[in-house]
Amino acid sequence: MDIKDRLEQWCDEAIVVLFAAVLILMPTLFGGTHTGAFVAAEILVGSSLILWGLKLWLKSSHRLFFTPTVWAVLGLTAYAAFEYMRSPIEFSTRQEILKAVLYCSIFFIFINNLRRRRHVKTFAFCLIGIATLISFYAIAQFLSGSTQILWETQAPIYAHRASGTYICPNHLAGFLAMVAPLALALTLAGRLEQYQKLLLGFATLVLLAGVAVTISRGGYVAALAAVAVVLGIFFQRPKYRIPSLVAAGFLACGMIWFLMSSPPEIGSRFEQLTQSTQFQEGRGALYQSNLKMAADTPLLGWAPGTYSTAIHQFLPENIQSDPIYAHSDYIQFFIEWGPVGLAGLLALMTLAAIGGTQAWKYVRQRGNSLNPRDSTRTALFLGTVAGLIAISLHSLIDFNMHIPANAIVAVVLLAFLVSSLRFSKKSYWLKQSIPIRIIATLFILLFAGALFWSSSLTYKTWSLTSQAAAPELSLAEKAELLNRAQKMDGQNWQIALQRGNLLLHDALSQEDAQLLDWDLSQAVNSYQLGLKQNKLEYRLFGGMSMVLTLMGKYDEAMPYSEEMMKLRPNGSDTSAIYGWCALYRGDYDLAVKYLERSIHLRNEGNDFAKDWYEIAVRRLDAEKNLN
């Protein structure tokens, strides 16, 4: 073996290790939503890209794999670049596009470097192993009533539900629903040792128990659909009919026992589906807002990452929260990427399904129909298909694709499905030539550079904003740290908003005139910077209107107040700010009207509106008495 062969083998093994690290790290740290975990994933995948680029030049026989699905992925990637260039909110869209770059990189690395059976088997066992451990953790949470998620505290809204190492139980259910069919298929038909099958069978039960304790209605449907696909296909083979029936029986008994012995809160979640108020409140009301926004969506969409900012224009009075996601990946994709983008996504899914159908005849079990040989390749393929079906169904009513760990697992499953076509046609392989090698290398360097640049910038700004949250620091020290982060990424309107709000809140309680002037002038600078980068965020307009009002610049503040109300017409916070600004201007009638409306929209926890409402009423009464 010459030096080039050894280097290529080393690159292969290093890529496997890096990929395994990503698959283990992301689900473990809050589903990859933790900034540190996502930064680490960008570095690991960027390093894998560099190793792949090195392999291209080490061996001229290294070929590139291209199927119709691969071309669809490239088309969506090019469309993503176009969306970035036309986005009205550069930072928000950049964050989404960089995620797309990460997922696209994983897809291409996998189909060109990790398509061998031993690689897929390694990653399947990695996923099953980490998912089983997380399921154990979730079951322990559920049985003990713990509200602790690693070092964080679970949100009260998820009481009596387990989320493992994820923030939201629904997303843990989405993750486990993708992995459970892999474990089940390998248990039934994998060409493995008996002890391995026993362990996998036990893991399957633990994974499904993990889904159960999430109390996720969509997760239940997705997991049951995936299991039904696996059992239904194997049931058609006489050899696997009894094992399939036994597995179905275990599943049915487990479901019945769990539902009969679980707390009443579980039944109440399912009873909610039959209540008419479900369509006017909570997620039902959000879906109605989504449909209004979708009806107002241009052909090319609002641009990726803009949903959480633009949705406020369409929210009704009974939604006073700030939705970040549409609770449907398909609806949000349509809103942000437009009909053109959704058509591209559906084309990709259709081509993947067609490719999977074509690949089936190459990966299915050999032997006669009565006694087919066990096949790990067949089991992995069927488990992959079932896992993709599960996440496709669950994403109809949730936002799994916005949870990095779940998106990465879905991309890996898709990559394996696509790479199963490698034996079907020679035309799917591109032989290397100097021009192709140069083009591929340029793309690799572009994507790797984007990931390394993003990881560096994200880590630096995250480090500064985390330091600024320390309670022992003075206001000036916090403001300076945020100012440094703001300068580091001038497009990051979120840091500008955070710094402006910090200074504004201090100004509202400040009695020292000199410090008050400093707070206000610094806040104006931050809000102005934020508004340059995002003209759809109502909180930036609201903060600017309050600062200018405190400075006595009522005429300058009015346009910001009006724009704020256009962007969030039914918000209790916007009504309170509008009323507060009117009170300072001396328009007591208007102040009472809007502060009263704010209290009507949100009574609990709305002390700001209540306190200023009392002042407005007293001043209005005094004005009437004088007249």
For residue range 169-178, what is the model confidence (pLDDT) as tens digits?
999 999 999 9
Tally the C-alpha atoms within 13 A of residue 282's C-alpha that lie toward its C-beta: 11
Residue 429 three-state SS: strand
393-410 pLDDT per residue, tens: 999 988 899 999 999 999
* Under 8 Å between Cβ of 458 and 39: yes
The pLDDT of residue 279 is 55
The pLDDT of residue 263 is 64
The values of phi and psi at residue 429, to 5°, are -110, 130
Q: Average the pLDDT over 107-131 and give the result.
A: 85
- The rounded mean pLDDT for the chain is 86
Amino acid at 230: V
* Under 8 Å between Cβ of 141 and 163: yes
User: Looking only at Cα atoms, what is the longest distance across the chain?
Assistant: 100
Q: Average the pLDDT over 602-614 and give the result.
A: 88
The pLDDT of residue 339 is 92
Look at 270-284, 308-322, 533-547 and tell me which has the smallest mean pLDDT: 270-284
CA angle 198, 201, 202 (to 5 degrees): 90
Decide if pLDDT at 423 tops 70.
Answer: no
Give the C-alpha separation, 24 to 42, whole Å.
14
Q: Average the pLDDT over 250-256 and give the result.
A: 77
DSSP notation for 195-248: HHHHHHHHHHHHHHHHHHHHT-HHHHHHHHHHHHHHHHHHHTSHHHHHHHHHHH
The model's confidence at residue 476, banded by pLDDT at 50, 70 and 90, is: confident
25-35 pLDDT per residue, tens: 999 998 888 99
The pLDDT of residue 548 is 92
The model's confidence at residue 274, banded by pLDDT at 50, 70 and 90, is: low
The pLDDT of residue 4 is 73
The model's confidence at residue 147, banded by pLDDT at 50, 70 and 90, is: confident
Domains contained in the chain, CATH given: 127-266+379-398 (no CATH), 471-626 (1.25.40.10)
Please count the other Cβ atoms lying within 10 Å of the Cβ belonging to residue 265.
Answer: 11
The model's confidence at residue 418, banded by pLDDT at 50, 70 and 90, is: confident
Of 234 and 16, the structure prediction assigns the larger pLDDT to: 16
Decide if pLDDT at 54 tops 70.
Answer: yes
Q: Average the pLDDT over 147-165 and give the result.
A: 84
The pLDDT of residue 369 is 53
Decide if pLDDT at 558 tops 70.
Answer: yes
Decide if pLDDT at 270 tops 70.
Answer: no
Decide if pLDDT at 371 tops 60.
Answer: no
In the chain, % of residues over pLDDT 90: 39
Please count the other Cβ atoms lying within 10 Å of the Cβ belonging to residue 232.
Answer: 12
